Amino acid sequence: MKKLIAGNWKMNGDSASNAELLAGIVAGLPGLDACDVLVCPPSVYVASAVTALAGQSVAVGGQDVSVQVKGAYTGEVSADMLRDVGATYAIVGHSERRQYHGETDALVGEKAQAALAHGITPVVCIGETLAQREAGETNAVVKRQLAAVIHAVGHCVSELVLAYEPVWAIGTGQTATPEQAQAVHAVIRAQIAAATEHPERVRILYGGSMNAANATQLLAQPDIDGGLIGGASLKVADFLTIIRAAQG
Ligand code: 13P
């Protein structure tokens, strides 16, 4: 299974800077096709990113998806709409959604299911806070978050992409060590193995201050199948260096 390097742009960029970033990624990609690449712009820019990437092997995704299909849900974007404009992935359950928008484990599971039901691959984020890690609760928290997703998607577990994103590592420059990350990825893999015959088909990305300097070591871990990158995905050279590190 190819590794997946995904950029979560969060609420950054504008038409001009996005065009520049995408052009830079496209220009640097030749010869780097041993991994899959995904960019997730803010929803208003998803369609223009798809257009800018026409004919390129870079997928485009949303940063969130509604559990609803359509109707009176002001501000929401459905999986159908993402697919309609050419997106193929959506980040689901990012810790910033859980923290600032009150998304619960159950809602995240429903969102993952809604995405799958409408042809969008969810990149489901799970991970503990610093307080939870210090209290020795890391594995329990991650297992609980993942159990809700497995419960919601049933036999479709093998179609998920998962991202382990320790909250304390996001945007802090404090990356999990390769050993810390691998230990949790192994726990996640074991939990998936109990739910699907082919746990190796589920890509488990690491996210949280992954950058050009630490990507090689993180991606060398046996259960780290790619990265979900925030800040460094906004810099062409850094994002390309991470993609290069994933060539294996
Ligand atoms: P940073 O890479 O900026 O730490 O963000 C990680 C993240 O939240 C990706 O979804």
* pLDDT by 10s per residue, the chain, length 248: 899 999 999 999 999 999 999 999 999 999 999 999 999 999 999 999 999 999 999 999 999 999 999 999 999 999 999 999 999 999 999 999 999 999 999 999 999 999 999 999 999 999 999 999 999 999 999 999 999 999 999 989 999 999 999 999 999 999 999 999 999 999 999 999 999 999 999 999 999 999 999 999 999 999 999 999 999 999 999 999 999 999 97
pLDDT at 93: 98
Neighbours of 239 (CB within 10 A): 25
151 in active site: no
Predicted pLDDT at 164: 98
Q: Directed axis angle between helix 138-153 and helix 105-117, to 10°?
A: 40
Catalytic residue among 20, 94, 101, 151: 94
The 3-state DSSP composition of the chain as helix, strand, coil percent (nearest 5) reads 45, 15, 35
Q: Which of 9, 96, 170 to mutate to test the pocket of ligand 1 (most atoms within 8 A of CB)?
A: 170
Name the catalytic one among 96, 103, 128, 165. 165
pLDDT of residue 248: 76
CA distances from 77 to 44, 63, 82, 186, 227 (A): 10, 10, 7, 33, 25
Q: How far apart are CA 211 and CA 160, in angstroms?
A: 24
Please give the distance, rounded to the nearest whole angstrom, from the Cα atom of residue 8 to the centre of ligand 1: 7
Is 208 touching ligand 1 by the criterion CB < 6 Å?
Answer: yes
